[in-house]
Amino acid sequence: MAGKLFVRRRDGRIEVRLNEFGRSVAREAFRNVVAAEHDPTHEWHVSLTSPIDPSLDSDNPISMLTRQNETATNAELAALTIDEDFLTQNEAWIWLTTLQIALRSTAQAKGLLSDEQLAASEPEVLDYIRTLQQFLFQLADCL
């Protein structure tokens, strides 16, 4: 996937230059975040419900609900804009945060908690992680 994947235009919009493969990877990531938020058995669910205050047995329900709503809303909005050629700054931010959740959830679900574990991971997992990192790196450059 050579060349720039996201380009910031002079009017502030972000041009999306992902090919079909790139869009399919992002689409799947967005769908998985939506699914994980609603399905406690999803392998990403644990990373979406990490403790806010680890000294407590249970976190403040209002904060937990806020997190759940915002994460799910962002992922749904990202999925809705997956075929767009241009993103607003807000949409690009939502893509970045949802892709970042997908990236970290993948690493956590696969037990990749250190550089050594990451280096020793299966090639297809590593490819997926590298692809998401590339998307994120270029999106961050536009924001």
Partner 1 sequence: MVCDTGVVASVKPLRTTETESDVSTSDSVRTEKSWRVVVWNDPVTPMAVVVVIFRKIFGYSNNKCTQLMLAVHHEGRALVWSGARDRAESYCVKLQVAGLQSTIEQDQ
Taking the CA atoms of 95, 100, 105 and 111 in sequence, report the sign of the dihedral they define: positive
Determine, following the binding rule CB under 8 A, whether residue 71 of this chain makes contact with partner 1.
yes
In sequence order, which residues have a C-beta less than 8 Å from that of residue 100 and are 6 or more positions away? 136
Rounded alpha-carbon distances, angstroms, from residue 70 to 5, 58, 130? 26, 20, 26
Q: Does 100 bind partner 1 (CB under 8 A)?
A: yes
Q: Vertex 78, ends 73 and 80: CA angle to 5°?
A: 95
Toward partner 1, which CB reaches closer, 5 or 103? 103
Number of residues that bind partner 1 (CB under 8 A): 37
Residues in contact with partner 1, shown as a per-residue x/- string from 29 to 68 under the rule CB under 8 A:
---------------------xxxxxx----x--x--xx-
Binding residues for partner 1, per CB under 8 A?
50-55, 60, 63, 66-67, 70-71, 74, 93, 96-101, 103-104, 106-107, 112-115, 117-118, 129, 133, 136-137, 140-141, 143
